[in-house]
């Protein structure tokens, strides 16, 4: 999948794109980074030369995208019709994340860079740059005047991208922030269901981890031989029995599943306890559920 981050200059693309790339674990292909290298090597003494190197940077970015199955692309697409055709030709599903920002905020941010208006204002913020490319792909619009809820953006683009890849229709809708309390309730409900199922099968539930992926899907984190014995079997760690909770914490810290929330689950009689960590704000809460 290709996440194409668009928006006018100073709309927050270069701030949001690295965050999305880091959370997804995908390479970040940024036009400004490529252009900076070209300018350093070749120089750009005029606006025309700067534009020429900018166009070359976009060509290089697209060439790199073709060599990656998944990537986050950050650029200002001046030639919109050409950009739509070239992005649509990439070998994978495209989802556009458009950074929408008020004109006054754009101008203030650009001026704060200390370069003044090195290009005419009408060139920087022309009508086309103030709206999404709108190619044959889903568009996730994000208000970037203030803080952005990255997990809300990630969930939306992954869900929309998956739907588009399967040929499912999707209509524009507001970008809802992640509901932290809702995530905790979902983790507790899923953990309770799993533990009840284990008990009905005669198993004694031991501590395990559960993550809520970026798409809001719960996945268990447990030792590979967690349920490999008979119904009344309990985990044996061999000599020097380690702290089971320490194992779960380490497993959650190193899991390859990219997630927005995680919980350590323990069972004490008929009480299920969850220690839930929300990555959105790094908060931790403890829940108890009667089985």
Q: What domains are there in the chain, each with its CATH number?
A: 2-165 (3.40.50.300), 180-290 (no CATH)
In contact, 95 and 2? CB cutoff 8 Å: yes
- Token readout for 135 is 């190619």
Q: pTM for this structure?
A: 0.79
In contact, 136 and 111? CB cutoff 8 Å: no
In contact, 160 and 138? CB cutoff 8 Å: yes
Q: Edge to edge, what strands does the sheet with 259-268 contain?
A: 218-221, 208-213, 259-268, 271-278, 283-290
Spatial distance between the Cα atoms of 65 and 158, rounded to a whole number of angstroms: 18
Identify any residues that bridge with 2 across adjacent strands, giving them in sequence order: 71, 94
Q: Consecutive 10-residue runs of the chain (291 residues): their mean pLDDT?
A: 91 92 94 90 81 91 94 90 95 93 83 63 68 91 90 89 79 73 93 88 82 89 59 49 67 80 91 93 93 88
Output phi, psi for 153, to 5 deg.
-65, -45
Output phi, psi for 11, to 5 deg.
-85, -5
């Amino acid at each position: 999948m290709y996440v194409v981050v668009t928006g006018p200059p100073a709309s927050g693309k270069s701030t949001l794109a690295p965050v999305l790339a880091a959370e997804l674990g995908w390479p970040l292909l940024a036009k400004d980074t490529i252009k900076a290298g070209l300018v350093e090597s070749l120089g750009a003494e005029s606006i025309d030369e700067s534009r020429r190197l900018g166009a070359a940077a976009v060509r290089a970015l697209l060439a790199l995208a073709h060599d990656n199955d998944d990537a986050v692309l950050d650029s200002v697409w001046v030639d919109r019709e050409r950009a739509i055709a070239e992005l649509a030709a990439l070998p994978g599903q495209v989802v556009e994340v458009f950074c929408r920002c008020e004109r006054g905020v754009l101008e203030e941010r650009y001026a704060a860079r200390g370069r003044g208006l090195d290009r005419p204002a009408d060139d920087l913020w022309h009508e086309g740059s103030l709206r999404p490319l709108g190619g044959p792909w889903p568009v996730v619009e994000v208000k970037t005047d203030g803080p952005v809820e990255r997990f809300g953006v990630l969930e939306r683009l992954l869900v929309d991208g998956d739907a588009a890849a399967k040929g499912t229709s999707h209509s524009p809708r507001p970008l809802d922030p992640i509901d932290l309390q809702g995530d905790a309730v979902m983790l507790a409900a899923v953990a309770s269901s799993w533990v009840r199922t284990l008990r009905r099968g005669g198993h004694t539930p031991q501590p395990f981890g559960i993550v809520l992926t970026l798409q809001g899907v719960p996945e268990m984190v447990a030792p590979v031989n967690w349920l490999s014995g008979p119904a009344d079997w309990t985990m044996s760690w061999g000599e020097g029995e380690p702290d089971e909770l320490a194992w779960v914490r380490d497993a959650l810290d190193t899991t390859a599943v990219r997630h927005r929330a995680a919980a350590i689950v323990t069972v004490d009689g008929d009480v299920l306890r969850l220690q839930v960590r929300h990555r959105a704000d790094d908060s931790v809460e403890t829940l108890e559920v009667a089985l």
